[in-house]
């Protein structure tokens, strides 16, 4: 049989810095407590250094990334709206849907991108309760508007290709405008719970309290139900 080997401080010189040594009565010596506290403080300091480094990198990268998205979105979608709106000959059901898609993207760029970028950069939400609700509401509204505009565009293309003659009486500018208005009405109405369930919360940070624009789970709203309903909304657009 092999004898059990014992690990001593000589064999593992760094071990006593990681594990406190027990005395014969089961308690730790003063030096062990000191080593344990030093080890804990060193780890905590290292954690804060790593966290602050990550936050600094994010605060520098996010404005650049979001700024590029905002600029490209404004120029691209703005040009689409201007070109189609300025040319009477380009008025068609397909182009009306393209304008609607560009408008939804413009709303997202204007009302969502800048404030989301600020939320990443600053340690707290500086815009207040009502703007928090509005931004979260617009994020969902514009996302759903874009998705269901693509659904309408797919339906329009299906009718144009499969039923080119019989669909001419259906694929009119008037019907396209009605479909767009109904889509916006449904989306604006069904997204109201998003505004209700979001708000400003306080959280402790570096010895003080800061504000954050978050889901109000502490007021009884279910975050799981919120994500499930959003997922169903998007999945339904692909069916």
Residue 15 pLDDT class (50, 70, 90 cuts): very low
Q: Give the count of beta carbons closer than 10 Å to the beta carbon of residue 225.
A: 11
pLDDT at 237: 59
Residue 47 has pLDDT above 80, yes or no: no
Residue 32 has pLDDT above 60, yes or no: no
Q: Judge whether 44 lies within some domain.
A: yes
**What's the rounded Cα separation, in Å, for the pair 127 and 122?**
11
List, in sequence order, the alpha helices (H) in the chain: 30-86, 93-111, 113-121, 129-162, 173-190, 192-196, 223-238
Lowest mean pLDDT among 4-18, 82-96, 126-140, 223-237: 4-18
Q: Judge whether 7 lies within some domain.
A: no
Residue 234 pLDDT class (50, 70, 90 cuts): low
Residue 236, φ and ψ in degrees, nearest 5? -60, -30
Q: Give the count of beta carbons closer than 10 Å to the beta carbon of residue 172.
A: 13
pLDDT at 62: 81
pLDDT at 205: 72
pLDDT at 202: 87
Q: Judge whether 52 lies within some domain.
A: yes
Q: Judge whether 1 lies within some domain.
A: no
- Tokens, residue 19: 């594990």
Q: Judge whether 20 lies within some domain.
A: no
pLDDT at 8: 42
Number of domains the chain is built from: 1
Long-range contacts of 198-204 (CB under 8 A, 24+ apart): 198/132, 198/133, 198/136, 198/137, 199/129, 199/132, 199/133, 200/125, 200/128, 200/129, 200/132
Using the Cα atoms of residue 191, residue 192, residue 196 and residue 199 in order, give the sign of their dihedral: positive
pLDDT at 51: 59
Can you give the CATH number for the domain in which 101 is found?
1.20.1070.10
pLDDT at 236: 59
* Mean pLDDT over each residue of the chain, to the nearest integer: 78
Return the percentage of the chain with pLDDT > 70, whole number: 73
Q: Judge whether 14 lies within some domain.
A: no
- C-alpha distances in Å from residue 90, one per residue of 48, 81, 97: 58, 11, 12
Q: Judge whether 19 lies within some domain.
A: no
pLDDT at 42: 46
Q: Judge whether 25 lies within some domain.
A: no
Full residue range of the structural domain in which residue 92 is found: 39-237
């Amino acid at each position: 049989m092999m004898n059990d080997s014992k690990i001593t401080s000589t064999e593992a010189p760094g071990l006593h810095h990681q594990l406190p040594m027990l005395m014969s009565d089961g308690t730790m010596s003063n030096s062990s407590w000191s080593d344990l506290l030093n080890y804990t403080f060193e780890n905590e300091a290292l954690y804060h250094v790593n966290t602050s480094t990550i936050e600094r990198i994010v605060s520098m990268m996010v404005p650049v990334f979001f700024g590029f998205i905002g600029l490209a979105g404004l120029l691209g979608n703005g040009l689409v709206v201007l070109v189609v709106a300025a040319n009477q000959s380009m008025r068609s059901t397909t182009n009306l849907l393209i304008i609607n898609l560009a408008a939804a993207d413009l709303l997202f760029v204007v009302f969502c991108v800048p404030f989301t970028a600020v939320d990443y950069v600053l340690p707290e939400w500086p815009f207040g309760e009502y703007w928090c609700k509005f931004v979260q509401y617009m994020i969902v509204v514009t996302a759903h508007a874009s998705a269901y505009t693509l659904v309408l565009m797919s339906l329009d293309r299906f009718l144009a290709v499969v039923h080119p003659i019989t669909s001419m009486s259906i694929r009119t500018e008037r019907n396209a405008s009605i479909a767009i208005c109904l889509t916006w009405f449904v989306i604006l109405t069904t997204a109201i719970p998003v505004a209700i369930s979001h708000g400003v919360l306080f959280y402790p940070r570096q010895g003080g309290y800061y504000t954050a624009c978050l889901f109000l789970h502490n007021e009884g709203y279910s975050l799981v139900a919120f994500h499930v309903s959003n997922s169903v909304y998007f999945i339904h657009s692909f069916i």
